[in-house]
Structure 1
Amino acid sequence: MKEHLNRGLDVRLEAQIDEIIPDDAGNVKAVRLTDGEEISAQIVLIGIGVIPNTQLADVLGLDVNNGIVVNNHALASDGTTIVAGDVANMPNPVPGSPDDERIRMESVNNAIEHAKVAAYSLMGRSEEYAGIPWFWSNQADIKLQIAGLSTGFDHTVVRDDTARGKFSVLYSRNGQIIAADCANAPLDFMAVKQALAKGKNIDADAAADVSTMLKTLIA
């Protein structure tokens, strides 16, 4: 947030839109907030689709809980229906996650990896989902990369190298690395992603030293 504010962006948290106001040609010219303020605008971006559509699953009598509940093979509760992608609620694939911990992911990587598992199930092959969650976002000159999921973390380590315009936050649970948020730190991102994929760990205390390459701490 600080970096965006430093770049002159106007961020309104918890603001609610009352109306998108068009000009005479039908193009957007402003946005009116519920407090009456009008903000000039030429483009309005709307994020939609965050609520899973489970209507068909309800009709079929499938288990539904923040999405359609599936196992590691993309099979729904009836054992025959295959569900993949953003709507699927599946076991957390991050190593060290509790057996009963479930997640629903909305990302390109998950859509690709989950589709592979679904295809295997369609062909009668029993392949478990083994993809490690990862995400990215390019914002101005900041490249954000996330490996793993920080859900349930109990310890964090900050690799603060802001003097060179980068930093990483590493998350662990019960002494096991589970995720990292990286800003302009692709080597940290790749190291954590590799550790998670191999079921390895990275010592959190040693990782606090920014002069130490994380890949050398994978064990």
Structure 2
Amino acid sequence: MVFIKFVMCTNILAVAVGAPGVFKTDADYNEVSSYDFPFVSREQWSARTAKEKLPLQTPVPYVVIHHSYTPAACYDGIQCRQAMRSMQNFHMDDRDWWDIGYSFAVGSDGAAYEGRGWDVIGAHALHFNNVSIGICLIGDWSDCLPPTNQLKTAQALIAAGVELGYVRADYKLVGHRQVRDTMCPGDTLYEEIQTWEHYSHFPSTVDDLPKVKEIYLILE
């Protein structure tokens, strides 16, 4: 379809905000006072202990948006917690990383899930990890948009990072494909984030990374 970038995935309507089974109990979501969206801690999704950690110097100047591709979109707390464990197992066991690669993930249930968090260097964008927070929107967003609540929570999470002092007020928002040779975060989501405040066309490809001038050193 010509207008595929405006299409929402068809099974999203079943999980609109306030629908039964979306936002459940305190056992599912931890309403942190600093956040105005459902937030699920590592403990709540049964994260494994990280093998090692390196501190992230904050506030960071970049936010990188990803999609998971696999696992697929998750529409309730049970599915999304399983998706988090699946991604962490893949990153730690198959890729031999220290932990799940993303700083945070956001599910189609409208909740934000803690990955490495605000103050630990991620493994989501090679050569760019120590200047950025990486946020993964769980699902494959190549041909359709995530549900509205998922998009809004991702934006609210970034705003919270600014408010809490972990993300610079003048941060630049980029898609993963701008700093790595990849199709991530999917064509449709990538077109969507270009309409968000703070989106930056630079760097436009991985070839621009040597030209990036910031107060932080980009590590290998």
Decide: shared fold, TM above 0.5. Answer: no
Query: When you count helix as a share of all residues, which structure comes out higher?
Result: 2
> TM range, normalised to the smaller chain?
under 0.3
Greater strand proportion: 1
Scaled by the length of structure 1, the TM-score of the pair is 0.27
Q: From the CA coordinates, give the structure whose radius of gyration is larger.
A: 1
Q: Which has the higher contact order (CA 8 A, sep 6+)?
A: 2
